[in-house]
Structure 1
Amino acid sequence: SQPQTWTGKIIWRVKIPHKVACFSWLLAREVVLTQDKLMRRGVNLCSRCFLCGKEAETISHLFLHCSWTDQLWKIFYNDSENDIEP
Structure 2
Amino acid sequence: MASPAATVPVGRELAELSRFGYTMLGLEANPLAERLVAGNGGTVVAPELHIWRLSSGAAQRLIPRLRALGAIRYAEPDRPVLRQS
Return the TM-score normalized by structure 2: 0.27
Greater Rg by CA = 1
Task: Give the helix-richer structure, 1 or 2.
Answer: 1
User: Greater RCO between the two (CA within 8 Å, min separation 6)?
Assistant: 2
Return the TM-score normalized by structure 1: 0.27
